[in-house]
Amino acid sequence: MSDLNASFEAAVKNSTSISERPDNATLLKLYALYKQATEGDNEGKKPSFTDMVGRAKWDAWEKLKGSTQDEAKQLYVDLIGSLL
Percentage of the chain lying above the pLDDT 90 cut: 95
Number of separate domains in the chain: 1
pLDDT of residue 33: 98
Q: Per residue in 1-36, pLDDT tens?
A: 589 999 999 999 999 999 899 999 999 999 999 999
Classify each residue of 39-53 as buried b or exposed e, where b means 16 or more C-beta atoms within 10 Å of its C-beta: eeebeeeeeeeeeee
Domain that holds residue 46: 2-83
pLDDT of residue 1: 54
**Alpha-carbon 57 to chain mean position:** 10
Q: Considering only CA atoms, which of 23, 80, 81 is closest in space to residue 56? A: 23
Which pTM was predicted?
0.93
Query: The domain that contains 17 carries what CATH number?
Result: 1.20.80.10
- Say how far apart CA 79 and CA 38 lie, in whole Å: 16
